[in-house]
Amino acid sequence: MKRSLESLAREVGGKVIGDGSVVISGLAGIEGAQEGDITFASTERFIPLLKGTKASAAIVPQEITDVSLPLLIVKNPLLAAAKILAAFTRQPYVAGGVSATAWVSPSAKVSKDATIHPFVSIGDEAEIGSRVTIYPFVSIGPQAAIGEDTVIYPHVTIYPRCILGKRVIIHAGTVIGADGFGFVKDGEANVRIPQVGIVEIEDDVEIGANCCLDRATFGKTLVKKGVKFDNLVQIGHNVQIGENSIIVAQVGISGSTKLGKNVTLAGQVGLVDHIEIGDNVMIGAQSGIAKNVPPNQIVLGTPHLPYRQFLKVAAVWSRLPEIRKELDLLRKRVAALEKKKATEKEEE
Amino acid sequence: MKRSLESLAREVGGKVIGDGSVVISGLAGIEGAQEGDITFASTERFIPLLKGTKASAAIVPQEITDVSLPLLIVKNPLLAAAKILAAFTRQPYVAGGVSATAWVSPSAKVSKDATIHPFVSIGDEAEIGSRVTIYPFVSIGPQAAIGEDTVIYPHVTIYPRCILGKRVIIHAGTVIGADGFGFVKDGEANVRIPQVGIVEIEDDVEIGANCCLDRATFGKTLVKKGVKFDNLVQIGHNVQIGENSIIVAQVGISGSTKLGKNVTLAGQVGLVDHIEIGDNVMIGAQSGIAKNVPPNQIVLGTPHLPYRQFLKVAAVWSRLPEIRKELDLLRKRVAALEKKKATEKEEE
Amino acid sequence: MKRSLESLAREVGGKVIGDGSVVISGLAGIEGAQEGDITFASTERFIPLLKGTKASAAIVPQEITDVSLPLLIVKNPLLAAAKILAAFTRQPYVAGGVSATAWVSPSAKVSKDATIHPFVSIGDEAEIGSRVTIYPFVSIGPQAAIGEDTVIYPHVTIYPRCILGKRVIIHAGTVIGADGFGFVKDGEANVRIPQVGIVEIEDDVEIGANCCLDRATFGKTLVKKGVKFDNLVQIGHNVQIGENSIIVAQVGISGSTKLGKNVTLAGQVGLVDHIEIGDNVMIGAQSGIAKNVPPNQIVLGTPHLPYRQFLKVAAVWSRLPEIRKELDLLRKRVAALEKKKATEKEEE
C-alpha cells in the first residue's frame, strides 16, 4: 500500500508542512525508518533525533524549522502514528473455514465465514460469530459464545458458558472462566464452593498472554468495553472492570472488587477483595491496595498514599538510619541539658 | 433435583424455623435468588438484605424474627451453602471413553471408565485411573500416574514420572513437573543442574490455572492432601506444602522451602528458598518472607512482622515526612536551649 | 553407564583422595544416595552430613579426614556435581521424525532429523533445525525459525517470525512473541499500536514454564546468549537482556528496558520501562526498580537501595512505632526544659 502524505493527513486530521505529495509506504521508528517510511516524534524530546532519520516524512507535535523533511503536525503524534501504522499493516480478513483437523461438536454453531485453524476444540452448543479467527489449540467450552471479528490466539481456554463480545483479542495461553477460588474451612479441611457463574467480556477488549480470569461464584465476572490487559494478570471471581481500563502485567485483582472506568493499574499491583476503585484512578506499580480508592486520584505504595506523599515518605524512608542516629544524639543532648539543670538546682 | 428444606437440614445438620416442607430446587446469592432457591447470609452483616430476596428459604447463623422466610439455622452458613450448592450442581460421572482424536501410547494404561477428550496426548507407560476426566490438549508425559476421579482441564502439562493422587482438580494451563531452576556459575556461564526428581500431588488437591510446580532436583516436590492453589502460583523444586494449606494467586515459593499444614499464603507473597513455615501460619498479601516463621502466627510485610506490629509500623511509615519535620524542629529547640545555657555560663 | 571415580576426576578436573578405582553409576543427594552413587557437599556446611550417607564417593571442596569415603576434591563441588549428573543422565538424541498427527505447512522447512511429536502445528515457511525436539501442542507460527538442538516443551506458542537460536530450551506454556502492550489514549478510548517487531532468542537460552516474552513494536525484543529464565516471567516489548543473565520466577520487565550481561534479578522483581541495568548487577527479591542501576552493584527494595543500606533501613523501619514514641517523649522533655527556662526568666 502506498499513500501520499496529504491523504494520511486527511485521515488522522493533521496539517502538512512541506511536500504533501511525497509517497509513503510504511511507518517506522526514527532509527529504523527507511526511505518511503514516515516516522514520528511522540514528544518534543525526540525532535532533535529527526535529523539523523532516513524517513521520508515525520509526524511531529509542533512546527519545527531545522529539519528538511515534510512534516505532519498533529496534537498527538503517537496516536496519529498508531492509526497510520494500523492502516499500513491491516490485513484484509479472508475466511479460512474450519480446518479438517479441528474438532467441532455437531451441536456447535460456527459462522460460515469464521477461520478455525488445525487442532481447535469447539464444545457442544458453542457459538462462533462471523469473521472470528481461532488459532491452533484453542479450547472453546460447551455453550460458550464468541462475538464477531474476535481473534483468539493459540492455547487459549474458554470454559463453558463464557461470553466474549465483538472485536475481542485474546493472546496465547489465557484462561477465561476457570473456577473462582472459593473454599470454606470445615475444621482444617477446605470445602469447595461450586462456582456456577460465568465470565463475560464485552466488545473491544484485548487480553494479553497467560492471563487468568475466573468465573463468578454466582452471576458473572465482568470486563466492560475497551479494557486492555497486559500478560499474566489474575482476575478473581465476580470482579468488575469498568470501560477502557488498563491493567498492566502481573496485576492481581481479588474476588468481587470493582473498578470504575478508565482506571490504570501499573505492573504487579495487588488489590484485596470486595473493594471499589473509582473512575480515572491510577495506581502505581507494585502497590498493595487494601481499601476503596475514590475517583480521580493517583496513588502508590503499600499501604497506598497519594502519589506526591508517597514520594516524600519514600525519601525519608531511605534515610531512616540517619533519623535513628539523630534521635539518639538529640536524646543525649537533652539529657545533658536536664543534668545541668539538676546540678544548678542542687547548687542553689 | 428438588429437595425439601427439612431434608437439606438433615444433610447439613441444621435446625429449621418455619415451613420445613418448602421445596428447594437450587441455591443462589441473596440478590440473584429466585422462587424455589434457598439463599444464605454468611454472617450477621448480610441478614438485613434478606428482606429483599425472592428466595424461598434462607440459611442463617442465628434465629431472626423480622423475616417471613423459612430459615435453616446452622453454625457456619457458608459451609452449609457450599454443601447444598454442591448437592444441587453435582453431575453424575458418565464414562466417555477415549476420543478417536486423542493420542495414547500403546504402553499407557488407561482405565476403561476414564474420559479422554479430543486432542489429548498420553505418553509411554503413563497410568490413568478410574473415572479420570482429561480435557482437550492435555499432555501426560511418559510414566506419569493420575489417580482415580481426578479432573484435568485443557492445556495442562504433566511432565514425565509425576504423580497425581485421587480427586485432584487441575485447571487450564498449569504445568506440573517442568525442570527446577537450578544453575551453577562456571565463570559467567550458567551450567544447568539436571533435575532428575519428580512432583507428587496427594489426594484432594486443587490447583488453579497457569500455575507452575517444578520437579525436584533429586527426590520430589511434594503437595500434601487437601491443599488448594489459586492461579499463577510458582512452586520451586523440592518445595513441600503441608496438608490443607491455602496458596492464593501469584504466590511464589522458592526451592526447598517447607510449609506446615493449614498454612495460608495470601496473594503475591514471596518466600525465599530453604526456609520453614510452621503449621497454621497466615502470611498477608505481598509479604516477602526471608526466614523461618514459627507455627500459629499471622505475619505481614517485607521484612515480615507480627500482624499488629505491621499495622503500627505502616501507620507511622506514612507519616515519616512529619516525623522528619518534628525532629528538625526539636533539634532547633534543643540548640536554642544549649545556646541560652552557654550564654548564661558566660554571663556568670 | 558406569565410571570410575578417577575418570570422573579427569573430566571435572579434581583430585582423588582414597580409592580412585571405585565404580560410580549415578549421582544423588547426601540423604538419597545409594551404593554406587557419588554424592556431594556443596559447601563446608554439609560435610558433617557425609558420615551418614550410603554413597560410594563424595565430591567435597577440601580435604577431610574423618570420613572413610573416597573423595573427589574440587574448587566448586556443585559445578562438578552438575557436570557429573549431566554425564550420567544425558540421553543420546534419536531422531523421531514428524508425527502423523502433527500439522506441518507444506511451505515449512523441517530438518529430516528433527523430532515432531503428535499435535504440533508448524506454520507457513517456518524453519525447524537439525535435532530439534518439539513436544505435543506446540504452535510454531509462520516464518518462525528454530535453531539446531533446541527443545520446546508442550503448549509453547511461538508467534510469527520469531527466531530461536541453538540449544535453546523452552518449558511448557511459554509464549514467545505475543503483541507488546502498546496503547495510546484517544480521549478515554485505548487505541492499539500495532506491534510489528519480533522476539529473538540467542543460543543456549533456557526459559521456564508459562513465561511471556512480547514482540517488539519495531525491531526486536532480544535475549542474548546463555540467559536463564525461571517460570512466570514477563518481558515487555523491545526489552534487551544481556548474556548469561539470570531472571528468577515472576519477575516483570517493562518495555524497552535494557539489562547488561550477567545480571541477576531475584523473584518477583519489577522494572519500569526505558531504564538500564548495568553488567553484573544483582537485584533482591520483590524490588521495584524505577531508575537506572549502574554496573557491579547489589540493590534491594522499593525504591531500591544498596544492599547493606537496605538492611539498615529495614531494621529501623520495623521499629518505627518506638521511634515515634521516643520522639514524643523527647518533645515533652524539651518542652519541660523550655518551661523551666521561661520560669527562671520570670523569676529573675
Give B 189-208 residues with CB within 8 A of chain A: 206, 208
- Contact between residue B276 and residue B291 where contact means Cβ atoms under 8 Å apart: no
Evaluate if residue C241 carries a pLDDT over 90: yes
Q: Report which secondary-structure segment, H or E, holds A12.
A: helix A5-12
pLDDT category at B348 given cuts 50, 70, 90 is: low
Quick check: C38 pLDDT over 80? yes
DSSP B32: T
Q: Which CATH architecture has domain A153-308?
A: 3 Solenoid (2.160)
Which chain B positions have a beta carbon within 8 Å of A192's beta carbon?
82, 86, 206, 228
pLDDT digits (tens, 9 = 90+) for C78-97: 999 999 999 999 989 999 99
pTM to 2 decimal places = 0.96
Which cell numbers hold the place of A124? 457442544
The catalytic site residues of A sit at 237
pLDDT reading at B197 higher than 70: yes
Q: What's the helix, strand, coil split of chain A in %, to 5? A: 20, 30, 55
d(CA A102, CA A26): 36
What is residue C45's DSSP assignment?
Answer: G
Task: Count CA atoms within 13 Å of residue C146 on its CB side.
Answer: 37
- For residues C165-191, average pLDDT: 97
Which chain B residues have a beta carbon less than 8 Å from that of A326? 327, 331
Instruction: Inform me whether the C-beta atom of residue C336 falls under 8 Å from chain B C-beta atoms.
Output: no
What is residue A266's three-state secondary structure? Answer: coil
B53-84, pLDDT tens digit by residue?
999 999 999 888 888 899 999 999 999 999 99
Torsion angle defined by CA atoms of residues A106, A111, A113 and A116, in that order, rounded to the nearest 10 degrees: -50
- Are A98 and A111 in contact by the 8 Å Cβ rule? The answer is no
Q: Which helix (H) or strand (E) segment is B309 a member of?
A: helix B307-317
Q: What are the tens digits of pLDDT across the range B95-151?
A: 999 999 999 999 999 999 999 999 999 999 999 999 999 999 999 999 999 999 999
Q: Using a CB-CB distance cutoff of 8 angstroms, which residues of chain C are in contact with residue B184?
A: 76, 78-79, 82
Chain C residues touching residue B316 (CB < 8 angstroms): 320-321, 323-324
Could you say which of C28, C137, C321 has the minimum Cβ distance to residue B137?
Answer: C137
Report strand pairing: C298-300 vs C305-306.
antiparallel
- CA dihedral in degrees (A99, A104, A109, A111; nearest 10)? -10
Span C118-130, pLDDT tens digits: 999 999 999 999 9
Q: What is the largest CA-CA distance in chain C?
A: 108
Does the pLDDT at position C98 exceed 90?
yes
Any idea which residue has 477483595 for its cell? A273
ipTM: 0.95
Asked if B248 and A181 come within 8 Å (Cβ–Cβ), the reply is yes
Catalytic annotation present for B237: yes
Chain-centroid distance, C-alpha B107? 35
Subunit contact B267:A250, Cβ cutoff 8 A: no
B321 vs A contacts (CB less than 8 Å): 309, 312-313, 315-316
Mean pLDDT of C228-257: 98
Residue entry with cell 494478570: A233
pLDDT given at position C348: 63
Look at residue C175 and tell me whether its pLDDT is greater than 80.
Answer: yes
pLDDT of residue B7: 95
Catalytic position from the list C117, C155, C171, C237: C237
- For residue A209, which residues of chain C lie inside 8 Å, CB to CB? 157, 175, 178, 212, 214
Task: Select A3-89's CATH number: 3.40.1390.10, 2.60.120.380, 3.20.20.220, 3.10.450.50.
Answer: 3.40.1390.10
What parts of chain A have a pLDDT lower than 70? 348
Domain ranges for chain A: 3-89, 153-308, 318-348
User: Using CA atoms, how far apart are residues C289 and A307, in angstroms rounded to an integer?
Assistant: 16
Distance from CA of A87 to the nearest CA of C (A): 10
**Chain C window 113-172: which residues touch B at a Cβ cutoff of 8 Å?**
117-119, 135-137, 153-155, 169, 171-172
* The pLDDT of residue C218: 95
What's the rounded Cα separation, in Å, for the pair B289 and B306? Answer: 12
Q: Do A171 and C185 touch (CB under 8 A)?
A: no
For an interface test with A, the pick among B31, B137, B168, B202 (most A C-beta atoms closer than 10 Å) comes out as: B137
B156-308 CATH pick, 2.160.10.10, 3.30.450.40, 3.30.70.20, 2.40.30.10: 2.160.10.10
| Pairwise CA distance, residues A205 & A36, whole Å | 33
Nearest CA in chain A to B85: A194
Q: Report pLDDT for B94.
A: 95
Angle at A177 between CA A171 and CA A178, to 5 degrees: 105
Inter-chain CB proximity B286 and A302 less than 8 Å: yes
Query: Is pLDDT above 90 for C343?
Result: no
Query: Which of B119, B181, B185 minimises the CB distance to C230?
Result: B181
Nearest chain A residue to B171 by CA: give it: A178
Report how far apart the first and last C-alpha atoms of chain B are (Å, whole number).
100
Q: What is the pLDDT of residue C281?
A: 98
pLDDT tens-digit series, residues B309-338: 999 999 999 999 999 999 999 999 999 988
Please give the grid coordinates belonging to residue B234.
510458582
A170 to chain C: closest CA residue: C178
pLDDT at C342: 82
pLDDT the model gives residue C196: 96
Interface contact A285-C272, CB threshold 8 A: yes
pLDDT value of position C22: 96
C250: nearest CA partner in chain A: A250
A244 and C312: CB-CB below 8 Å? Answer: no
**C-alpha distances in Å from residue C17, one per residue of A20, B288, C29, C33:** 83, 44, 20, 20
| Residue B88 forms contact with C (CB below 8 Å) | no
- Is pLDDT at C148 greater than 90 in this prediction? yes
- What rounded mean pLDDT belongs to chain C? 95
Contacts C134 to A, Cβ<8 Å: none
Residue A229 host element (H or E): strand A228-229
Of all helices (H) and strands (E), which one includes residue A343?
A: helix A320-347
- Per the CB < 8 Å rule, is B317 touching A313? yes
Predicted pLDDT at B126: 98
Spatial CA neighbour of A206 closest among A160, A256, A270, A156: A156
CA-based nearest residue to B321, from C89, A305, C72: A305
Asked whether residue C347 carries a pLDDT value surpassing 80, the answer given is no
Q: CB distance from C325 to chain B under 8 Å?
A: no
DSSP secondary structure string for all residues of A134-152:
E-TT-EEPTT-EE-TT-EE
Beta carbons of B137 and A119 less than 8 Å apart: yes
Q: What was the pLDDT predicted at A287?
A: 98
The closest CB to that of A157, out of B173, B206, B317, belongs to: B173
- Per-residue pLDDT at B343: 82
Residues above pLDDT 90, as percent of chain B:
91
CB contact under 8 A, B181 and C286: no
Segment A82-124, tens digit of pLDDT: 999 999 999 899 999 999 999 999 999 999 999 999 999 999 9
